[in-house]
Chains A and B, each alone.
Chain A
Amino acid sequence: MFLSMNWIADFVDLTGLDRLDLIHRFSLSTAEVENEIFMKGSDLSGVVVAEIKSVEPHPDSKKLHLLKVDIGEENLVDVVCGAPNVRVGMKTAFAKVGATLGEITITPRPLAGFMSNGMCCSEKEIGISDDHSGIMDITDDVPNGTDIKDVYAIDDIVFEVDNKSLTNRPDLWGHYGIAREFAALAGRELKPLPTADLSAYDSLPKVDMKIEDPLCQRYSCLQVENISVSVSPVNMRIRLFYCGMRAINFLADLTNYLMLEMGQPMHAFDSRKVEKIRIKRFEKPFVFQTLDGVNRNIDKNTLMICNDNTPVAIAGIMGGLDSEIVDDTTTLTLESATFDAVSIRKSTVRLAHRTDASMRYEKCLDPEMTVPAIARFVELLTSVDSGVKVVSSLTDEYAYRYDKITLDFDKAFVDKYTGIEIDSDTILKTLKSLGFEAKKDGDNFTVGVPSWRATKDVTIKADIIEEITRIYGYDNFDIHTSRAPLYPVRPYEEKTVEDKIKDILVKRYSLHELHSYIWAYYDEYKALGIEVADNIKLINATNPNIETIRRSIVPTQLVQVRSNVGFAPEFGIFEIGRTVNGLKDDGLCDEHKKLCITLYSKTNSVETLYFRLRDMLCVLSSDIKHKELSFKATQPEYNYEHPRNLNEIYCDGVPLGKMGIVFPSVAKKIDKKAAIVFAEIDIADFAKIETAPIVYDEPSKFPGIDIDISFVSDIFAPIGDAIREAKCALIKNVQVIDTYSDETGKSITTRLTFSHPEKTLTRDEVMEIVNGIIEKLQKNGIALKQ
């Protein structure tokens, strides 16, 4: 929203104050002002009012005229002018020799064979409108030679406020409310708004009007006739233009002017079309043509202004084409109303049509404003057009009143909340300057919230703190730290575990951490032949490609691997991210935080890669939890999992996740020759596992004995189990030193290292234990390799 300092200065005396500094303070205390501030008129000089004394056609040009103009000096000035609207006796804006208009400086110059000593200007050329159809037609009675800036308020400072920063301030959507802020910041009085006395018309008949829907909070109206002025005064047009609105005609301009001044949208109907004003909604949907000529679909939730049963306007948004003021309109009905803000906002969204009016209504306008707005309208109307007659009494139905809000607090509350000392007089003065009815009794304050702040904005004591502190100025705060007692801060285990995992994977295994999205990417999965696992969906995803939430990060990483195959012949990636495993019993999403690792290699075998991954997982477990992992073969659940070597990962008997190889067809789509393996574990489950304490085992001073035994077995697990079950404290280390395959099958050679803390072991002592293990395995059908 653009704001004019001249307009603000109508309501607060800014004499002697630095206006740019005030704007800066407004930005820090009230609402964000955009960086660019417009110094209107600063690039215009030497333009005066001049009268055209004679008009001669140019001998060689149909468009050009030779003029003699009176610029209030002794001699008339010769000018060549191309404007179509030149006529003798017309007064216009004239740029004298030496005048500046933006970057142009006027000099005498020959034009089509004649000297031109200056320039007649259009309104656009002097920057007060976008009208360039002809030169400015000055109808006001002004002596020739008067500087145009002395006639019209061209010099102004215009600034823009970010609309977003006014969301919660319905009172700041017009200059008068903004002026109140400037008055408070400058410590000056806010002048009352000049209004007409509407009680003078109390004896006139009322308008036939009735609110038939609770969504209309208040409806005020008045009928006037005999409007003869059609073009708005220049100063009014300049203000509208500076604030970003085009001048249309006097009546339309005046409703816009009033909206920019008070923030109250107004509408004028042709009285012939609205004899019985009814405000209501319709059960059946219908099509309605608004005054911009667009047909709009109206449903049962949209509040309408009607002439009895005929809709004439969409309440708070836009009038209808049929009831608009036309050339032969004699009597018009002025509407000044407030409506339910949520309803207006929803209708705006539904109709996809946001207007200057609806933008304001959405903010919860003050219903107290409707009548003063009409009084102000009448005041402005009659001051410009003295022939106007008011033909009805003020007709006003006030259906919904906001509660009057009074807040009590004491000085200690302000001290506590601010943490600084703001004296009672400053508090009182600040609140009063913003229109609050503030009273003080000792250290207790009672504050009445003005109606324009009471629609939603100021409701609790903390809101009063904001009023006091923002005017006091946050830059003026003496800042200090809080004094809190000392308490230990306990780290969050899951977070600590995450950090350790990341460090191990990055630093020890050179993996790369990536981020991704929480949903499945249909297109990318499809390219790899991965089915999207059924899961809970987003209901409002703008892109259908992402509507299903993922159950696993593995497919995400396979997509990532595919897009990175050119990066290096071998790499590994990981992410700690979220997945959702359907719904829990309570109907809420079963969300999990998971670690997913995928390794890719063109240079190593799938076996090497698989064991590298397994060792990574084992290191994570042994490093972070000081515990071993175990693995159990499992069946594939998803079509990207290779049925062989798919293992569930356990720690302390708790299943953590699984590791496996990518299904051949999927792997081939990523890369024809590379090996790709993956693992995924649940972070919360892993974090919950108790960390085993480190118990110091003093190394024996006596020599140990190594025993190598070979068993015929495909896997090590039963051998390891048998060794573990022997529960022998003398076994210090177990290693697989060789595997061998022949016609009898695969054999595994295991080296057991024994040592005793206090003596040298004999071979016999050790063999007794080894034989126990051998016997146990033989019972389970695992033979010693001969």
Chain B
Amino acid sequence: MKEKLEAIRKKAEAELDSITSPEQIESFRVSVLGKKGELTSILKMMGKLSAEERPVMGQLANDVRSFIEEKITEKANEIKEKEMQREIDSMPLFDVSAPSDLSRGSYHPITLVQRECERIFKSMGFTVEDYSEVVTDYECFESLNIPKHHPARDMQDTYYLENGQLLKSQTSAAQNAIYKKYKDALINDGVPIKAIFPGRCFRNEATDACHENTFFQMEGVMVDKDISISNLIYFMKTMLSEVFQKDIKVRLRPGFFPFVEPGFELDISCLICGGEGCPSCKHSGWLELCPCGMIHPEVLKAGGIDPEEYTGYAFGLGLTRLAMMKYGIKDIRDLNSGSLKSLSQFTDDE
């Protein structure tokens, strides 16, 4: 019997060597240790042994069993590891240096610049308003202290429609409506009017690299008791420093616009040279940027606000110009060209 057990052990060792899959292990385990397995059938013969032989053989049989079990576990682990390695090795190596697929959407550059401005103004407590593109003569001129036959109407060539309305030539066309919308809160509750209104404007002129008949402006107003020129300059300087993300020097010169008094042309220190003078500022050190001024008393009156009690300032920013400055767009016509080659380049920029 001892020989038989030894033989089983040797055979098992040899067979295990040649096993390569978990299924083979299982059938091997059954063939040796299973109910009808070789070892089991030998153990069944145990009863025939003498009382002295039985414990010795019993011990030996148990040793053989644990030996085989141990070997099976070892083999099973070995196979598992090999399989894992095979799975690992089956993963191909990717070429991470290959060009990326960057296909993504794009915002119009005006949207990007507009959002940036809106963020700045919102942070300073301004509301963002929107206004129609077709407006009345009253909105665009009359209410802005530009009566009929005023030379200021010659300054802007306006697109007129058959019904007497017009395509707004300036975002100021929204001023009157905004005053009327917020005047009650101003007068009754003392809430200052602080609003910006970005929008599309139209001028009836021939287009070239510097001129467009359709472009974007952003107008802003603040009205309250005791708003002063000093506040206006402070505000413009602060706001423009935020817009250009650097400390901007501003300079005011008298400028004539019928809806403000006094009216100013605002220059900023040249963004390229910082004021030293360079070709981009025609060696003057300054860039003419935006018109602004104290809101004309007649304009406040037309909006239902008493100019004796309230004062305010207004300013206009050329969003189209800002976008061109920011992104180095040289031809204004690119913006409305609808060309994806040009316009798909503008990804989120906040």
Q: Name A's B-contacting residues (CB within 8 A).
A: 27-32, 35, 165, 167-169, 342, 345-346, 349, 362, 416-420, 460-463, 465-466, 469-470, 474-475, 477-482, 484-487, 489-492, 494-495, 499, 502, 505-507, 509-518, 536-542, 549, 559-560, 563-564, 567-568, 571-573, 578, 580, 583, 587-589, 591, 593
Contact = CB atoms under 8 A, between A and B. Distances in A.
Given A510-B104, A515-B336, 12 more contacts: A28-B251, A35-B283, A165-B255, A345-B154, A418-B230, A475-B252, A478-B230, A479-B230, A507-B105, A512-B340, A513-B107, A591-B133
A165 B151 CA distance: 13
Contacts of B224: 482, 484
**B interface bracket (residues with beta carbon within 8 Å of A):** 35 or more
A517 B214 contact: yes
B162 interface: yes
Given A418-B230, A465-B262, A513-B108, A30 B161 contact: no
7 residue pairs, one from A and one from B, having the closest CB atoms = A419-B228, A419-B230, A466-B262, A506-B105, A560-B338, A474-B252, A479-B234
Interface stretch (B8-16, B34-42, B122-130): B122-130
Contacts, number: 233
B262 A462 contact: yes
A135 B283 CA distance: 38
Interface stretch (B23-31, B53-61, B87-95, B341-349): B341-349
Contacts of B262: 462-463, 465-466, 469-470
Nearest to B225: A416
A416 B253 CA distance: 20
A602 to B, nearest CB: 15
A541 B160 CA distance: 8
A589 B264 CA distance: 34
Contacts of B179: none
B136 A492 contact: no
B338 A514 contact: yes
Contacts of B222: 482
Given A470-B262, A484-B224, A540-B160, A510 B105 contact: yes
B329 interface: no
Nearest to A571: B340
Contacts of A518: 133, 167, 200, 202, 214
Contacts of B341: 564, 567
A258 B262 CA distance: 31
A580 B133 CA distance: 10
Contacts of B134: 549, 578, 580, 588-589, 591
A465 B227 CA distance: 14
B343 A481 contact: no
Given A491-B128, A512-B343, A539-B160, A462 B108 contact: no
Contacts of B103: 510, 568
B340 A573 contact: yes
B230 A32 contact: no
A490 B127 contact: yes
B246 interface: no
Contact of B231 (A342, A481, A489, A516): A481
A469 B253 CA distance: 11
Contact of A517 (B127, B297, B336): B336
B167 A416 contact: no
A589 B283 contact: no
B310 to A, nearest CB: 10
A416 B228 contact: yes
B167 A420 contact: no
Contact of A417 (B130, B154, B228): B228
A165 B255 CA distance: 7
Interface in B97-142: 103-108, 110-111, 115, 122, 125-130, 132-134, 136
A420 B228 contact: yes
B163 A536 contact: yes
A513 B167 contact: no
Interface in B174-205: 190-192, 194, 200, 202, 204-205
Given A538-B159, A588-B136, A564 B204 contact: no
A567 B340 CA distance: 7
Contacts of B20: none
B105 A511 contact: yes
Contacts of B237: 479
Contacts of B133: 518, 578, 591
Interface in B250-288: 251-256, 261-265, 282-284
B163 A31 contact: no
Interface in B303-345: 307, 311, 335-336, 338-341, 343-344
Contacts of B307: 462
Nearest to A468: B262
Contacts of B167: 518, 538
Contacts of B130: 492, 494-495, 593
Contacts of A417: 228-229, 294, 311
B165 interface: yes
